[in-house]
Chain A
Amino acid sequence: MLTTLGRSALSFASYLGEVALLMRDTVGAILLGKIRWRLVMFQIAEMGFRSQLVVSVTGAFTGAVFAAQTYFQFHKLGMDSAVGPVVSLSMFRELGPVLTGLMVAGRVGAAIAAEIGTMKVTEQIDALRALGVQPVDYLVVPRATALMISMPLLVVECVGFSLIAGWFVATQVLGVQEAFFLENMRRYTDGYDIAWALSKGFVFGVIIVFLSCYEGLNAREGAVGVGRAPTEAVVRCSLSILISNFFLSFGLNIIFPTV
């Protein structure tokens, strides 16, 4: 029992170490200026641009249902005016980044792991190396750069749609006074909340891209191995996002304190 525990702790530590090495190589390559901008643009279009639909739909419906639930509870207390700020703060600080992270992990993380994993088992990665190209430079750096740029923007987009939907449900459907809703929302939401959303988006982007690239680069031979890579990537990304979100909230509360 203890040995199994020890062994899995050990393998977890070595996993973290290998992901850290991958990150070091990537950051090293970026600092050496080995960014292939053409590939970055392609990846931004592929991963960022094309994730917009799923992210905005997620945001809109979460915002809508969240505004409705808040209203149902707060209305009993006669606090209709609090619906705006509650929705806005929780979307900016928690739900927006986490939901965007989970959706992008499912869409982009799986794609990255599948694509790189296929290249691995069909010797395309060896072919890159044989032609004098570092796989990290060619495969990881563009994806990492693209997702670090796209994720914060996607989070903002998700939050934006959630607020529009929340506003619609609260004021147009449930009859919260429009001036109250907007004024209070503006009063209680500030630059810190936006910074909070952007930082979380960035960190989740880093998590998604490196965990997924790692799964792809270490995919095992055969159809089963390649099939497992994206599943593994999505599970690991999602758990890491949820867990790190908890710690991020505490950390960010120190950097961007609630006034």
Chain B
Amino acid sequence: MSSSPETPVIEVQALKKRLGTQDVLRGVDLQVRRGETCVVLGRSGCGKSVLLKHIIALMRPTSGRVLIEGEEITGLPERQLLDVRRKVGMLFQSAALFDSMTVEQNLAFPLKEQGIRDPKVIKERVTEALDMVDLLGAESKMPEKLSGGMRKRVGLARTVVGRPRCILYDEPTTGLDPITSDSINRLIRRLQKRISVTSVVVTHDMKTAFHCGDSIVFLHEGRVYFQGTVDQLRASTDPVITDFIEGRSGDAD
């Protein structure tokens, strides 16, 4: 049970995942405490999205365990994962909006699933969430009519509208202009400060990492290569990490 406050909200132990013939994760350990924002960095294709999908049990590990608020979710059957998933929200890399629904219906969906029936309350919460991502007025649009960045923000709004205690963000600012990115970074920070949301943020955006991260995890070759604070990351002299931060490809000129 979620007993002591020291129990990490998210705990990943020795997680391994094989997809096809490829060992994507080769033993990842991760702990995120309540109210903390953990930023996950790593090269494209190194398994960041796969890691997030394990935390919300969309994928099953080959071996290893995932615990949410101290409760192991690794072996739970789908129907019992319902309660866990109510606590954890996920923003998909592709936004994954329901394309048969309008923006408003997309946002109302998680609320209705939580049993909220009052249309006034739903309307209020939807408007509030759209306001957060600066998309008021887009309620009746269909997802295919939105730009990539707008879709991302609607996805973000759909993730936060149900007020999960824990949010997994898969590249929240990719494809957004610098100003919108900044407002998303502030939003992530605000959610954490105000309602003490626990988050994992996968990103390629160093601004997001430095702005939002309490702790930083760097994935490399299926393992946690570095774990520490923002300052420790900045101070690192490891070439794998400095190349990544400064965006050097490592090819000699």
- List chain A positions with a Cβ less than 8 A from chain B: 118, 122-124, 126-127, 129-134
- Smallest beta-carbon distance A15→chain B, Å: 20
Chain B residues with CB under 8 Å of A130's CB are 56, 58, 85, 88-90, 92
| Complex contact B99–A124 (CB within 8 A) | yes
Residue B76 interfacial (CB < 8 Å): no
| Closest partner residue, chain B, to A121 (CB atom) | B94
Asked whether any CB of chain A lies closer than 8 Å to the CB of B110, the reply is yes
Number of B interface residues in the complex (CB < 8 A):
23
Minimal beta-carbon separation of B51 from chain A (angstroms): 14
Complex Cα spacing A124 to B94, Å: 9
Verify if B86 is at the interface (C-beta below 8 Å from A).
yes
A-B contact count (CB 8 A): 45
Which residues of chain B have C-beta atoms less than 8 A from A134's C-beta? 78-79
| A136 closest partner in B (C-beta) | B78
**Known contacts A124-B96, A126-B96, A129-B58; 13 further A-B pairs (Cβ under 8 A):** A118-B99, A122-B94, A127-B90, A127-B97, A127-B98, A129-B81, A130-B58, A130-B92, A131-B85, A131-B110, A132-B82, A132-B85, A132-B86
Q: Which residues of B contact A122 (CB under 8 A)?
A: 94, 96, 99
Docked pose: A133 CA to B98 CA in angstroms: 13
- Mark out the residues of chain B between 53 and 88 whose CB falls within 8 Å of any chain A CB in the assembled complex: 53, 56, 58, 78-79, 81-83, 85-86, 88
> What is the distance, in angstroms, from A227's C-beta to the closest C-beta of chain B?
17
B118 within 8 A of A: no
Contact in complex: A133, B96 (CB < 8 Å): no
Residue of B nearest to A25 (CB): B78
Whole-angstrom distance between the Cβ of B64 and the nearest chain A Cβ: 20
Report yes or no: A123 in contact with B85, Cβ–Cβ below 8 A.
no
Residue from A123, A130, A134 having most chain B Cβ neighbours under 10 A: A130
Q: Measured between alpha carbons, how far is A131 from B84 in the docked complex, in Å?
A: 10
Known: A129-B58, A130-B58, A130-B90. A123 touches B96 (CB 8 A): yes
What residue in chain B is nearest A118 (Cβ atoms)? Answer: B99
Q: Which of B78, B86, B89, B94 contacts A129 (CB 8 A)?
A: B78
